[in-house]
A and B are shown apart, each in its own frame.
Chain A
Amino acid sequence: MRKFVVEEGLVMPLDRANVDTDFIIPKQFLKSIKRSGFGVNLFDEHRYLDKGEPDADNTNRPINGDFVLNQPRYQGSKILLARDNFGCGSSREHAPWALDDYGFRAILAPSFADIFFNNCFKNGLLPIVLDKEIIHELFSQVEETPGFSVSIDLPNQKISMPDQSEVYFDVDQFRKNCLINGLDDIGLTLKDASDILDFERRWKDCSPWYFQLSGNKNN
């Protein structure tokens, strides 16, 4: 997994609550069996005026100039500023894949949906929960200040603003460690393989009925 230590970048505001995973990446793109290439279809239904198709050429599609992602001042953004309950809906990891592939590295919001929040960490993307008031204030500052950029320092858990002020944030220590060191979860868990085997043996002894799918019985 790619590491996240310190990231600096332009902030793009997405002023809308309950942005769901269909909004982030519409379902037709879930047909892909690949992990990459979703960036051009991030926010597809809002950024283009027609309906997108997987594996199609996106270069000549009509653009929705009003949508924030298409505004010149936000080109090259790395930090997404969002509202409440960001990422609600389906468990599709295509949502963080699309954000990541587009170039976003972190998302700031007052709250996130659980599964999405979790999926971000697995993909080197940092979701940060900040107070509603701070988020609110950020929205107005970003609006007012073209080129508004912040620097996110994960080891020190702080965000540095353009006016030199700093905001601290919470992050789960295990996830922080994985992100900073780019650790692969599976490798970590497999270090505990003997504990898993022990558990499994005990569990099978006392609940054997959970271990019998192999029969492939017919109705």
Chain B
Amino acid sequence: MTGQTLYDKIWSAHLVKQRDDGTSLIYIDRHLIHEVTSPQAFEGLRLADRKPWRADANLAVPDHNIPTTSEERKLGLDGIKDPVSKIQVKTLGDNCRENSILELEMNDLRQGIVHVVGPEQGATLPGMTIVCGDSHTSTHGALGALAHGIGTSEVEHVLATQCLMQKKMKNMLVRIDGSLNIGVTAKDVVLAVIGKIGTAGGTGYTIEFAGSVIRELSVEGRMTVCNMAIEAGARAGLIAVDEKTLRYIEGRPFAPTGELWTEAAKAWKTLVSDEDAEFDEVVVLDGSEIEPQVTWGTSPEMVLPVSGSIPDPALESDPTKQGNIEQALDYMGLEGGTAIKDIKLDCIFIGSCTNSRIEDLREAAQIVADKKVADSVETAMVVPGSGLVKKQAEAEGLDLIFKRAGLEWREPGCSMCLAMNADQLGEGKHCASTSNRNFEGRQGFGGRTHLVSPGMAAAAAIYGRFVDVRKL
């Protein structure tokens, strides 16, 4: 028998039943819930007179809709000006109370973006199956958990049955060898991967990220990588468990303690792909060749090294690709051939489940320390991923560094990553953003997003255009 991949192992451990038609019933250990994709699922449960199968498998937190200024946050629900958003956040609370589900409410210190909160609380553990009505659930794979996004019907299905009907994915290995140059981060790695395999490259696969670069990354950096697996088309990203993983988890509020910890840690150490495991697809990158990355278009695969120039559609021979480039440039208000370094920025957004953890904030703070945001930049904000990240950053004085440089320091939430709350990018404005999607209108109607690492965003804040963070 050939060896098993990490994905194979977690999958088979959770297989409740295999049906003749090839579908499998998979047990779900953890279900994370937020306010946007859950109301219709709870409503469905109610209408069918069903109760959650196991209330304590669920953890809820509002994050998408909530305001991020401290004045508004102080007011609690009343601080949410948009009445539709307010109902949604209130409905989450009502549903959780009615179904005895633990919710970290808006002003709980532990509240934050659902994918930051899960690992931070130890609610995400290696070897688990984790789902959430949110595509960036892939983030949790960084801890060796099989985690992916689901739609609202499946949210209801998991609530009612603690299971999902699934088909097994194929295995892809993305190996990043060598080591990264200084100033190149996890975000650049994953953008480079997407640039290489495309936004549909991982469709139908679970991607395991491996290689010396991944091993050298911190657990937080690994989360950044797995977070964007979905942007490469893969519902789930995975990283093998190692000592770093265990050190990260030990002592977290919901992690096991004492003897249970010892036993769990022992079991988790087996959560690696066997040496003779076979992958359906293998992609290899050389870490030392990766430069800081910047997206120029309206899809994460439209990405280039900071030293590059935007493609000229006239030079593209494939008519479909040419059309895509033209459409993207038209929306972005950019011209083919322009150097990335000549793109001017109106807005800087440091936050989102991709890059809002403490290490991301340290990386950005280091760049802006004792400097000033360029006059041409209209808005620059830092939105920590959770109340605990915020507290830690303030203990380290990062908030003061940001404020002195002229960046706003906000309360935790999704904020301008998708602009469902009041934090919106203006029409036609260019934003250097540490988030994960540069789709049309993602950060605000007509807004133009450039995805970058926290260091690159911070540097862009100071210069008002993109600069190579390695040269600072």
Residues of A participating in the B interface, judged by any CB pair closer than 8 Å: 16-18, 20, 22-23, 26-28, 30-35, 45, 51, 54-55, 83-85, 88-93, 96, 111, 113-115, 118-119, 122-123, 172-174, 177, 185-186, 188-190, 192-193, 195-196, 199-200, 203, 207-219
Q: Return 9 A-B CB contacts under 8 Å, by A number.
A: A18-B299, A27-B419, A54-B84, A111-B203, A114-B235, A119-B153, A210-B125, A210-B128, A217-B253
Binds A, one of B17-25, B332-340, B346-354: B17-25
**Taking the complex as formed, is B246 at the interface, i.e. its CB lies under 8 A from any CB of chain A?**
no
Closest residue of A by beta carbon distance from B161: A189
Partner among B14, B87, B256, B388 whose Cβ is within 8 Å of the Cβ of A219:
B388
- Do residues A89 and B437 form an inter-chain contact, with CB atoms below 8 A? yes
- Do residues A17 and B109 form an inter-chain contact, with CB atoms below 8 A? no
- Do residues A31 and B84 form an inter-chain contact, with CB atoms below 8 A? yes
A78 to B465, CA, bound (A): 46
- Do residues B200 and A113 form an inter-chain contact, with CB atoms below 8 A? yes
Binds A, one of B184-192, B214-222, B438-446: B438-446
With A90-B134, A213-B102 as known contacts, state yes or no: A208 contacts B260, CB within 8 Å.
yes
A196 to B167, CA, bound (A): 18
Q: How many residues of B contact A (CB 8 A)?
A: 88
Residues of B participating in the A interface, judged by any CB pair closer than 8 Å: 14, 16-17, 19, 21-23, 25, 27, 29-30, 36-37, 39-40, 43, 48, 50, 53-59, 64-65, 82, 84-85, 87-88, 91, 102, 109-110, 123, 125, 127-128, 133-135, 148-154, 156-157, 160-163, 165, 167, 199-200, 203-204, 233, 235, 253-256, 260-261, 263-264, 267, 299, 320, 323-324, 327, 388, 418-420, 437, 439-442, 445
With A93-B153, A214-B56, A219-B388 as known contacts, state yes or no: A196 contacts B420, CB within 8 Å.
no
Closest residue of B by beta carbon distance from A217: B253
A192 to B344, CA, bound (A): 58
- Do residues A122 and B84 form an inter-chain contact, with CB atoms below 8 A? no
- Do residues B85 and A31 form an inter-chain contact, with CB atoms below 8 A? yes
Partner among B54, B148, B263, B445 whose Cβ is within 8 Å of the Cβ of A45:
B445
- Do residues A18 and B160 form an inter-chain contact, with CB atoms below 8 A? no
Chain A residues, CB < 8 A from B85: 31
With A31-B65, A195-B17 as known contacts, state yes or no: A93 contacts B152, CB within 8 Å.
yes
A177 to chain B, nearest CB (A): 7
Closest residue of B by beta carbon distance from A218: B253
A168 to B439, CA, bound (A): 34
A46 to B250, CA, bound (A): 49
Partner among A113, A186, A203 whose Cβ is within 8 Å of the Cβ of B203:
A113
- Do residues B153 and A200 form an inter-chain contact, with CB atoms below 8 A? no
- Do residues A212 and B133 form an inter-chain contact, with CB atoms below 8 A? no
- Do residues A91 and B37 form an inter-chain contact, with CB atoms below 8 A? yes
- Do residues A213 and B150 form an inter-chain contact, with CB atoms below 8 A? no
- Do residues B27 and A199 form an inter-chain contact, with CB atoms below 8 A? yes
A217 to chain B, nearest CB (A): 5
Chain B residues, CB < 8 A from A200: 27, 54, 162
- Do residues B153 and A90 form an inter-chain contact, with CB atoms below 8 A? no
A217 to B27, CA, bound (A): 25
- Do residues B151 and A115 form an inter-chain contact, with CB atoms below 8 A? yes
- Do residues A174 and B23 form an inter-chain contact, with CB atoms below 8 A? yes
A16 to B324, CA, bound (A): 7
- Do residues B320 and A17 form an inter-chain contact, with CB atoms below 8 A? yes
Partner among B23, B151, B160, B299 whose Cβ is within 8 Å of the Cβ of A92:
B151
- Do residues A172 and B22 form an inter-chain contact, with CB atoms below 8 A? yes
Partner among B21, B25, B91, B128 whose Cβ is within 8 Å of the Cβ of A33:
B91
Chain A residues, CB < 8 A from B19: 174
Given contacts A113-B200, A186-B160, 8 further A-B contacts (CB under 8 A): A23-B439, A30-B420, A92-B36, A114-B233, A118-B154, A119-B154, A185-B157, A203-B14
- Do residues A31 and B82 form an inter-chain contact, with CB atoms below 8 A? yes
A184 to chain B, nearest CB (A): 8
With A33-B87, A93-B152, A115-B149 as known contacts, state yes or no: A219 contacts B253, CB within 8 Å.
yes
Which of A32, A172, A208, A213 has the most chain B CB atoms closer than 10 A to its own CB? A213
A123 to B44, CA, bound (A): 13
Chain B residues, CB < 8 A from A88: 199-200, 233
A34 to B127, CA, bound (A): 35
Chain A residues, CB < 8 A from B110: 219
